[in-house]
């Protein structure tokens, strides 16, 4: 069945590539009969796609995969095919015979059709699986909480078509609560998997259960059953244990940057564009604040201080100065308190409204900071809290932000109690574990509509 589906997918792609080229000819030229030599170009692209698309995983199983990831794979593969086709024409000195406008039409039409076809198919398969068809039954060997977590994800993403059929509860992490068949004995679980012809066995076990893992793998070694290992590394991993490949060896990241490189690139591009737009939009406010600070008391307009950035690199952060010039003891940082006499009247207003933070958009443009991320603390606080608050230093796995998840949830201002810092760090680590572009947008909107003024800002 899978071979037939793969053949149909390849046939669809070839038809779309050829069809897109033909439609592009109609759009570009009045008489397409005079441009028949373009078909040799198209034939090469169609043939080359049959080699490139499988190599990039375009025809792998869609079950359990995001449709947007599939769309991205197709787009990347198609652009590689077109780049190679253009390179061929260039090497044959035929590049001047190809209309660039036709090539753009063809690339856009065929690419859009292939992506649309997959998204439509993905949605139809999702509806079919929601209806209880085309399902893949799964037997899970797990321990308590980790098992419940996997079942919840399975139920939340029913379009993936996975359904739990049996659970083998090893009983280490507590009692499993589920409506499916639950087994406490190895032999009974194995017999049930074979009797029901279950095609997937998931080993969602901690690394300490090596004996049980090896026993199950050995038990099914002569069965045509897919065995997948989903290790429970929560006791070891700071963030959800993502898997990468180093030196050709699959590697589980227990303490590493929580955002993958593609997510970091998206965040970086968004930061620069947003910061530039924000600086242009608020330039009159920046000017007014600068004049007010200068007239309020003697001293510079900007307050500069060293803070830690991504990976602990030190940078200079910029704020509008809100305090009168005063002597500060070396190595000792005194936080601003309510009714602090050092704060000027203008500075008090800037602090309450968070307008003193606006110059940090220059830090974002320079690449020192992000729009959204954990707020950077003074170096003295870093030295104090990293040995007291669990996970504190891992806030600096990514660039610090102008605003963050902790700030819009009330954890801002003075940290006069250790519980306040623990709450702030807990929110920062939650942000790192659950980052998405949508979460960044949510935080920005919350900051704009309710985050500029807060009772803890003084």
Distance CA 269, CA 273 (A): 6
pTM above the 0.75 mark? no
Give backbone dihedrals phi and psi of 433, rounded to 5 degrees, phi first. Answer: -75, -25
Any idea where the domains of the chain sit in the sequence? 2-130, 136-236, 261-451
User: Nearest 10 degrees: CA dihedral of 332, 335, 339, 341?
Assistant: 30
Task: Using alpha carbons, select from 411, 385, 390, 387 the residue that is nearest to residue 238.
Answer: 390
Topology, domain 136-236: Rossmann fold (3.40.50)
User: Nearest 10 degrees: CA dihedral of 395, 399, 400, 403?
Assistant: -110
Conformation bin of residue 413: beta by default, left when phi > 0, alpha when psi is -120 to 50: left
Per the CB < 8 A criterion, the answer to whether 442 and 407 are in contact is no
Distance CA 102, CA 23 (A): 10
**Tokens 């999702």 correspond to what residue?**
126
Encoded tokens for 148: 């419940």
Distance CA 320, CA 301 (A): 6
Per the CB < 8 A criterion, the answer to whether 358 and 452 are in contact is no
pLDDT in tens, the chain (458 residues): 455 666 788 888 899 999 988 888 888 887 766 666 677 788 888 888 888 888 777 877 666 566 777 788 888 889 988 888 888 777 777 767 778 888 888 999 999 999 988 888 877 776 766 665 667 888 888 876 777 777 777 777 766 678 888 888 876 544 455 567 888 888 899 899 898 888 889 888 877 788 888 888 888 888 888 888 887 766 565 665 566 666 666 676 666 677 777 788 888 889 999 999 999 999 999 999 999 988 888 888 898 989 988 888 899 999 998 887 766 655 555 555 565 677 888 888 888 888 888 999 999 999 999 999 999 888 888 888 888 888 888 888 889 999 999 888 888 766 667 888 888 989 998 898 888 888 898 999 888 876 555 555 54
**Tokens 């100065």 correspond to what residue?**
321
Question: Which of 157-160's residues contact partners 24+ apart within 8 Å by CB, and which partners?
Answer: 157/64, 158/129, 158/130, 159/125, 159/126, 159/127, 159/129, 159/130, 160/63, 160/64, 160/65, 160/129
pLDDT at 271: 92
Give the other-Cβ count within 10 Å of 328's Cβ. 9
Encoded tokens for 269: 């591009």
Give backbone dihedrals phi and psi of 319, rounded to 5 degrees, phi first. Answer: -140, 160
Cβ neighbors of 292 (< 8 A, separation 6 or more) are 346
């Amino acid at each position: 069945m899978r071979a037939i589906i793969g053949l149909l997918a390849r046939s669809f792609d070839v038809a779309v590539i050829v069809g897109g080229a033909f439609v592009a000819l109609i759009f570009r030229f009045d008489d397409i009969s005079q441009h028949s030599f373009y078909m040799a170009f198209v034939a090469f692209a169609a043939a080359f796609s049959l080699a490139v698309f499988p190599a990039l995983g375009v025809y792998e199983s869609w079950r359990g995969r995001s449709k947007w990831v599939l769309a991205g794979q197709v787009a990347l593969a198609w652009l590689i095919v077109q780049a190679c086709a253009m390179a061929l024409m260039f090497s044959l000195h035929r590049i001047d015979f190809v209309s660039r406008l036709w090539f753009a039409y063809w690339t856009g039409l065929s690419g859009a059709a292939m992506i649309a076809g997959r998204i439509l198919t993905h949605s139809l398969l999702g509806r079919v699986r929601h209806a209880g068809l085309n399902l893949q039954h799964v037997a899970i060997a797990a321990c308590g909480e980790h098992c419940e977590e996997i079942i919840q994800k399975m139920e939340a993403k029913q379009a993936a078509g996975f359904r739990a059929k049996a659970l083998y509860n090893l009983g280490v992490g507590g009692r499993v609560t589920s409506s499916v068949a639950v087994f406490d004995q190895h032999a009974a679980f194995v017999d049930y998997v074979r009797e029901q012809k279950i095609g997937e066995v998931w080993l969602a076990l901690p690394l300490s259960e090596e004996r049980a893992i090896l026993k199950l793998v050995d038990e099914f070694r002569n069965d045509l059953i897919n065995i997948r290992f989903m290790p429970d590394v929560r006791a070891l991993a700071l963030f959800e244990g993502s898997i990468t490949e180093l030196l050709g060896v699959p590697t589980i990241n227990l303490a590493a940057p929580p955002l993958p490189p593609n997510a970091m690139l998206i965040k970086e591009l968004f930061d620069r564009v947003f910061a530039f737009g924000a600086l242009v939009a608020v330039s009159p406010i920046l000017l007014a604040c600068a004049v007010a600070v200068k007239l309020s008391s003697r001293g510079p307009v900007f307050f500069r201080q060293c803070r830690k950035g991504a990976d602990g690199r030190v940078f200079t952060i910029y704020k509008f100065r809100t305090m009168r010039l005063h002597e500060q003891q070396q190595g000792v940082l005194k936080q601003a308190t309510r009714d602090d006499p050092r704060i000027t009247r203008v500075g008090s207003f800037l602090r309450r409204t968070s307008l003193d933070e606006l110059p940090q958009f220059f830090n974002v443009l320079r690449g020192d900071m992000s729009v959204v991320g954990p707020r950077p603390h003074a170096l003295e606080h870093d030295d104090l809290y990293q040995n007291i608050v669990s996970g504190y230093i891992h806030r600096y796995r990514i660039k610090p932000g102008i605003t963050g998840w902790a700030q819009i949830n009330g954890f801002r201002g003075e940290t006069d109690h250790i519980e306040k810092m623990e709450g702030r760090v807990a929110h920062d680590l939650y942000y790192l574990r659950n980052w998405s572009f949508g979460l960044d947008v949510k935080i920005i909107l919350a900051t704009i509509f309710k985050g500029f003024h807060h009772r803890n800002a003084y």
